[in-house]
Amino acid sequence: MSIGKNIIHDSSRGHVTGTSVFVDDRAAITGEIQVGVVGVPVAAGRIKSINSKRAELVEGIIGVFTAADLQHNQWGAIVKNQPILVSDVIGYIHEPAVVIAAENRIALEKAKKLIEIECDEVKPTFSIDEAIKNEDFLYEATPFVQGDVDKALSNSEHRLKQSFECGGQEHFYLESQATIAIPLENGQMELHSSSQHPSETQHVVAQALGLPYHHVTCIVKRMGGGFGGKESQAAPFAAMAGLVAQKFNRPARIALSKDDDMMMTGKRHPFKNFYEVGFDSKGKITALKADLFSDAGAYADLSSSIMERAMFHIDSAYYIPDVLITGKCCKTNNHSNTAFRGFGGPQGALTMEDLIEDIAKVVGIDASEVRKINLYGQGINNRTPYGQIIDHNPLKEMTEKILKDSQYSKLRKEVEEFNKIKNGKVRGLALSYTKFGIAFTAKFLNQGSALVNLHLDGTIQASTGATEMGQGVNTKIQQIIAHAFGISPESVQLMATSTEKNHNTSPTAASSGSDINGAAALKACEKIKKRLCVFLHKHWSGEVFNDVKEIELDFEGDLSHIEFRDGLVVDTNSKNEIKLTEAIKMAYLNRVSLGGYAHFKTENLGFDKSKCEGRAFNYFTNGAAVCLVEIDEYTGELKVLKTDILMDLGRPLNPGIDKGQVTGAFIQGMGWVTHENLFYSDKGVLLSHSPTTYKIPNIQDTPREFNVEFIENHENQQAVHRSKAVGEPPFLLGGTVFCAIKDALRYRVADNRITSPATNEKIIMKLQKAT
């Protein structure tokens, strides 16, 4: 049995030994061209002219291209309003405008500095506040409405009216955007891309080059990280490589430097959320009116869906009887922001978790008690602001367990005593939750496909629409297939994702890669197994097949008595058994198909925006965390002393991989709310565009004591083998650190409100106002 076991990641040995092959590790192909890109020097205005004459004189430069060389220059995951290469109106500084083709990278880097782009500059917009003032929005969401929020607010015992801000975040995948484009015969193009969305990459490149889709194949072996940054934004860079490959009929490679990647690509959306909340003297929330504003950047990208996901998750884990939630995506002259782990969910949920801390302060009750009293219930108080009823809700039981296991009450007393001593340190404690909806909010994306091929030696090759970016989706699907046939996972090989094997794929995103593609793979396995079962049933029943009489696979009876286990096929009724390899050979000799293709779609989804009702999500992945932090009052330095995490992951397919996802997501979420800060000049230039200037968490930032536990929950029948998605939900728990910082500050300052990220600098400035 392979399900539920800690099978090692299928690329783990390759990663550790350095033998895993990423795009730019691929050996150069004869005649290969190096491709580079140059961005515009201003954040807003128009391009007057592009002068490439000096660059073209550099030895080794063979071509310089602009938007005029593309057959189609517009792309966008939802709204096609973004140019691959800007030709006129400028959206943001360093926006790609020129593509250079070179025989080597030395010539490429020299030529990039010689491109002259003359612009008519105009005043840019860089902030959400400016965009709101100018009423400049790319998208306005349909509001979520439940009850009569104005009446409920007017009747509330207490009211708070304020705002909350959270910043952006750099994806900081270790492998930058990269593609190798290989021209084939008959005008075809083969792309090897670091992309979370092979089909979109295929389509954007085909359109840019004026090719039909069937002339372009996108192949993704693996990515060196993605986190959402390669969901949409891998495609235009692939188009640049494709352009050069097509022009010269030679292979072309683009691999951005970390600096260029960070300056040219979008980030997590910053948000500024305004709200008014009503609550009683016990901290029970009675009403919420919230207006969410995101910094979409220059173009639409995925901003509309990200805004809606933030609206879906502003409730966090709490029931609110009367709500009015609106959302607008602000147009600015920042890089076009894009998908990032959580996809807007963290920006919504952190707003609520921050708000709970403020409510607790007003009513003078420990924030954990305020959270408990507002939690979604079982059978009652279980309707979300978007009208979906929450079933199988374990939050109450999870709360009791994590408060007990973390010794929250004891820690709170210790924090109280510690903070009475003025020794230059102050501590804070917080509990918070994740209740993350699993499904693409665009219904049509909730589909996947798989191709499973069973070979004569009993081994299997499988292809799905999922892309591997380190999260272990291939390993989980490997386990699903191995379990289906009763063989070892080592006998199953997941192949590179390719649009010629799995067409019209959805992106590997929304935490649904294993759910959708694993279910499709299982469905494909069942097709093959049914053929084998019919064949063996008839064989064991004495039917003879020969050159005259062939096997007929039509059979309507019960075949559940035939099982695949331990490399055997066993009939539990007749006690007949045969080695799987022998069964395969017999089936092959009788011309029984040993391959299976299957399509899977998530059932029972459907959300009506106009009525604010229906099932937006297939199910929810739940979690809770308790964090203890300590702050140095002289430097603002933060230490996370202890973190306890409790997750509901259904019946995990691979507990080890899931634990890695939980710990990694938490640390990444913690980084977002503490020290991952994007610094820009007054011209809009990203100053923190390298590992030396952008701080991600290191080993010293991780919790000194770090406990992760899963509850047992086999009730989730909406996903393959009753598992639950894990990629994004734990990210939201990183916000617990932010809440603990606020808790610490309340011991020293009257106003403990702080924006995210709560950097050491912000903390020390806040502490300097201590009364």
Which residue, among 176, 191, 174, 175, has the nearest Cα to 252 in the 3D structure? 191
* Residue 218 shares a structural domain with residue 356: no
Q: State yes or no: pLDDT of 437 exceeds 90.
A: yes
Number of separate helices (H) and strands (E) present in the chain: 19, 32
Q: Euclidean distance between the first and final Cα of the chain, in Å?
A: 62
* Residue 562 shares a structural domain with residue 616: no
CATH number, position 383: 3.30.365.10
Q: What confidence category does residue 63 fall into, taking pLDDT thresholds of 50, 70 and 90? A: very high
Residue 399 bridge partners (DSSP): none
Would 664 be classed as within a structural domain? yes
Buried b / exposed e across 162-171, counting CB within 10 Å, b at 16+?
eebbbbbbbb
* Under 8 Å between Cβ of 317 and 160: no
Residue 276 bridge partners (DSSP): 161, 289
* Under 8 Å between Cβ of 631 and 410: no
- SS3 category, 363: helix
What is d(CA 387, CA 349) in angstroms, rounded to the nearest whole number?
17
Would 680 be classed as within a structural domain? yes
What is d(CA 694, CA 353) in angstroms, rounded to the nearest whole number?
26
Residue 483 has what pLDDT? 98
What is d(CA 440, CA 618) in angstroms, rounded to the nearest whole number?
9
* Structure-block tokens of residue 384: 């979300």
Give the residue from 220, 255, 290 where a domain finishes.
255
- Tell me the CA distances in angstroms from 72 to 81, 106, 371, one per residue in order: 12, 30, 52
Q: State yes or no: pLDDT of 352 exceeds 90.
A: yes
* Residue 548 shares a structural domain with residue 696: no
Would 167 be classed as within a structural domain? no
* Under 8 Å between Cβ of 268 and 337: yes
What is d(CA 169, CA 149) in angstroms, rounded to the nearest whole number?
33
* Residue 279 shares a structural domain with residue 378: yes
What is d(CA 249, CA 244) in angstroms, rounded to the nearest whole number?
8
- Number of other residues whose CB lies within 10 A of the CB of residue 321: 18
What is d(CA 709, CA 768) in angstroms, rounded to the nearest whole number?
38
Average pLDDT of every residue of the chain = 97
Residue 705 has what pLDDT? 98
Average pLDDT over residues 389-407: 96
Query: Residue 313 CA to chain centroid, in angstroms?
Result: 15
| Domain boundaries, position 106 | 12-123+177-255
Q: State yes or no: pLDDT of 619 exceeds 80.
A: yes
What is d(CA 197, CA 534) in angstroms, rounded to the nearest whole number?
38
Which residue, among 335, 285, 338, 334, has the nearest Cα to 314 in the 3D structure? 285
Would 155 be classed as within a structural domain? no
Give the residue from 208, 223, 255 where a domain finishes.
255
Among 175, 276, 728, 761, the one annotated catalytic = 728
Residue 456 has what pLDDT? 98
Would 161 be classed as within a structural domain? no
- SS3 category, 11: coil
Residue 690 has what pLDDT? 93
Average pLDDT over residues 609-621: 92
* Residue 201 shares a structural domain with residue 230: yes
Q: State yes or no: pLDDT of 278 exceeds 90.
A: yes
* Residue 572 shares a structural domain with residue 659: no
Average pLDDT over residues 307-311: 98
Contacts of 259 (CB under 8 A, 6+ apart): 689, 690
Residue 155 has what pLDDT? 98
How many structural domains comprise the chain? 3
What is d(CA 103, CA 716) in angstroms, rounded to the nearest whole number?
55
Tokens 């050069």 belong to: 244
* Residue 187 shares a structural domain with residue 285: no
- Number of other residues whose CB lies within 10 A of the CB of residue 610: 6
Would 138 be classed as within a structural domain? no
pLDDT digits over 537-579, tens only? 999 988 877 776 778 888 888 999 999 999 999 999 999 999 9
* Residue 474 shares a structural domain with residue 580: yes
417 in catalytic set: no
- Tell me the CA distances in angstroms from 755 to 677, 742, 758, 759, 763, one per residue in order: 12, 10, 6, 9, 10
- H or E element in which residue 162 lies: strand 158-166
pLDDT digits over 363-382, tens only? 999 999 999 999 999 999 99
* Residue 328 shares a structural domain with residue 215: no
* Structure-block tokens of residue 114: 């010689």
Residue 312 has what pLDDT? 98
What is d(CA 716, CA 723) in angstroms, rounded to the nearest whole number?
7
Q: What confidence category does residue 771 fall into, taking pLDDT thresholds of 50, 70 and 90? A: low
CATH number, position 93: 3.90.1170.50
Would 58 be classed as within a structural domain? yes
Tokens 């879906």 belong to: 312
Would 277 be classed as within a structural domain? yes
Give the residue from 227, 255, 283 where a domain finishes.
255
pLDDT digits over 623-665, tens only? 999 999 999 999 999 999 999 999 999 999 999 999 999 999 9
* Residue 666 shares a structural domain with residue 547: no
* Residue 68 shares a structural domain with residue 183: yes
- Output the DSSP codes for 313-329: HTTTTB--SEEEEEEEE
List % helix, strand, coil for the chain (3-state, nearest 5). 30, 25, 40
* Structure-block tokens of residue 387: 């009208």
* Residue 671 shares a structural domain with residue 704: yes
Percent of residues, the chain, with pLDDT higher than 90: 96
Residue 552 has what pLDDT? 85
Phi-psi region of 591 (alpha: psi -120 to 50; beta: other; left: phi over 0): left
Q: For residue 757, is the peptide bond before it cis, meaning its omega torsion is within 30 degrees of 0?
A: yes
Contacts of 12 (CB under 8 A, 6+ apart): none
Residue 190 bridge partners (DSSP): 182, 217
Query: Residue 551 CA to chain centroid, in angstroms?
Result: 47
* Under 8 Å between Cβ of 38 and 97: yes
What is d(CA 477, CA 514) in angstroms, rounded to the nearest whole number?
7
Which residue, among 333, 193, 246, has the nearest Cα to 72 in the 3D structure? 246
